[in-house]
């Protein structure tokens, strides 16, 4: 595609309004040959051309049809943010392996067998599963209180604190077909979120659990834990190869723990953030996406062409 040819950026979003409107306005006023709009989908034919050079995907982790579409787009050479093939394999339990492999600290975590599975089964289906489960040993390893939550990365749609074996079993019985983890709670009043855009730009915010919003200001990379947190957030994000990510930290005494290594679609809105924080996210996203539009990106698909004899 020629540099002078008109190019389009597509957005796939859900129940969010502040960020998409601000992003599209900034792109459409950017004095480039690039415009941004919502992707409109109503059934996709095989080999159907995709008209976008970049798609910013904020919703396919919840809508399976959207995930099928963005993979289809990636196969045509469209840059999808974030890469749907990488996002598919991400999980909070995988995140603990990534964090520990990088030499960082994570809370003690156990992944649990599914209470139910969405397929036909027989007793032989579970020949590899030890039963009954040793709930006491699981609680002893993780410690209490602990957080029982869905394994999927990003957000906390299904999460609860447990304080003993009985509460854990009760929550487990309510989990249905979800895959879940039990994770150690690190007692800390210093809860920090690092937004990473383009694997380089980092904004570190203090999160107030009491208000459910970010405290004013941006943690300087030169003060306190700023430099260490910024370097760790970049390291984790580059390992995931995400263009947009949010890493969650807590600090206890002199120890820094990564309690969530990935959130590929972090919340960005004016109720959650100050104007300064919100504008930083919009500005960095616009710069990164326009850059992807103007420069060819490496293929995102897991498939490579076979060698030609």
Mean pLDDT of the chain: 92
100 in the same domain as 118: no
The predicted-structure confidence for 112-149, as pLDDT tens digits, reads as follows: 999 988 788 788 788 888 888 999 999 999 999 999 99
224 found inside a domain: yes
What is the number of helices (H) and of strands (E) in the chain?
Answer: 8, 13
pLDDT at residue 224 is higher than 70:
no
* Residue 20, in any domain of the structure: yes
Q: What is the pLDDT of residue 299?
A: 84
Classify residue 286: in a domain, yes or no.
no
Q: Do 208 and 103 share a structural domain?
A: yes
Question: Under a CB-based contact definition with an 8 Å cutoff, are residues 172 and 112 in contact?
Answer: yes
* Same-domain status, 235 and 96: yes
Sheet architecture: strand order including 159-162? 109-112, 180-184, 146-150, 159-162
Do 21 and 154 have their domain in common?
no
Same domain? For 170 and 217 the reply is: no
pLDDT digits (tens, 9 = 90+) for 250-296: 999 889 999 999 999 999 999 999 999 999 999 999 999 999 999 87
Residues 125, 234 share a domain: no
Backbone φ, ψ for residue 160 (5° rounding): -155, 150
Q: Residue 198 to residues 166, 173, 193, 240, 264: CA-CA distances in angstroms?
A: 44, 40, 16, 12, 12
Q: Tell me which of 132, 166, 184 is where a domain ends.
A: 184
Q: Given pLDDT bands bounded at 50, 70 and 90, which one contains residue 297?
A: confident
169 and 139 housed in the same domain: yes
Residue 193 sits in a domain whose CATH number is 3.30.470.20
Residues 6+ apart with CB under 8 A from 126: none
- 103/113 same-domain check: no
The verdict on 83 and 222 lying in the same domain is no
Same domain? 163 vs 117:
yes
Distance of CA 78 to the CA centre of its chain: 20
Q: What percent of the chain has pLDDT over 90?
A: 77
Specify whether 254 is located in the same domain as 212: yes
Tokens of 58: 């904020």
**Contact between residue 82 and residue 288 where contact means Cβ atoms under 8 Å apart:** no
**What's the CA gap between 107 and 239, in Å, rounded?**
19
In a domain, 299, yes or no: no
Query: Domain for residue 173, yes or no?
Result: yes
CA 174 from centre of chain: 25
Q: Which of 184, 212, 230 is the last residue of a domain?
A: 184
Say if residue 202's pLDDT is above 60: yes
Q: What percent of the chain has pLDDT over 70?
A: 94
Give the pLDDT of residue 220.
79
- The answer to whether residue 122 sits within a structural domain is yes
Looking at residue 32, its pLDDT comes to 85
Residue at a domain's end among 148, 167, 184:
184
pTM: 0.92
Assigned domain for 229 exists: yes
Tens of pLDDT, residues 3-46: 568 999 999 999 999 999 999 999 999 988 999 999 999 999 99
Report the phi/psi class of residue 212: left, alpha or beta, with left for phi > 0 and alpha for psi in -120 to 50. Answer: left
For the chain, how many structural domains are there in total?
3
Q: Report pLDDT for 120.
A: 81
103 lies in the same domain as 191: yes
Q: 208 lies in a domain?
A: yes
CA 239/CA 27 separation, integer angstroms: 28
**Lowest mean pLDDT segment, chosen from 70-79, 201-210, 215-224:** 215-224
Question: Domain of 173?
Answer: 109-184
Query: What CATH number has the domain bearing residue 149?
Result: 3.30.1490
């Amino acid at each position: 595609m020629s540099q002078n040819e008109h190019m389009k950026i597509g957005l796939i979003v859900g129940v969010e309004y502040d960020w998409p409107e601000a992003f599209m306005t900034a792109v459409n006023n950017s004095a480039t040959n690039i415009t941004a709009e919502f992707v409109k989908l109503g059934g996709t034919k095989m080999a159907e051309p995709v008209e976008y050079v970049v798609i910013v995907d904020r919703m396919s982790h919840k809508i399976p049809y959207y995930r099928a579409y963005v993979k289809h787009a990636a196969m045509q050479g469209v840059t999808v943010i974030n890469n749907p093939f990488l996002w598919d394999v991400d999980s909070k339990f995988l995140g603990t392996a990534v964090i520990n492999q990088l030499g960082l600290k994570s809370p003690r975590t156990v992944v649990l067998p599914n209470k139910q599975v969405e397929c036909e089964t027989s007793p032989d289906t579970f020949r590899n599963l030890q039963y009954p489960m040793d709930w006491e040993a699981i609680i002893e390893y993780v410690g209490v209180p602990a957080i029982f939550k869905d394994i999927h990365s990003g957000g906390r749609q299904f999460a609860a604190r447990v304080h003993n074996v009985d509460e854990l079993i009760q929550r487990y019985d309510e989990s249905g077909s979800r895959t879940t983890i039990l994770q150690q709670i690190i007692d800390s009043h210093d809860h920090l979120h690092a937004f990473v855009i383009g694997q380089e730009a980092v904004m570190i915010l203090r999160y107030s659990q009491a208000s459910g919003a970010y405290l004013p200001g941006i943690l300087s990379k030169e003060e306190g834990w700023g430099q260490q947190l910024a370097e760790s957030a970049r390291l984790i994000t580059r390992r995931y190869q995400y263009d947009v990510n949010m890493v969650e930290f807590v600090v206890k005494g002199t120890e820094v723990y990564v309690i969530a290594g990935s959130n590929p679609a972090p919340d960005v809105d004016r109720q959650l953030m100050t104007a300064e924080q919100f504008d930083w996210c919009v500005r960095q996203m616009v710069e990164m996406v326009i850059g992807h539009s103007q420069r060819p990106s490496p293929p995102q698909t897991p498939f490579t062409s076979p060698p030609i004899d």
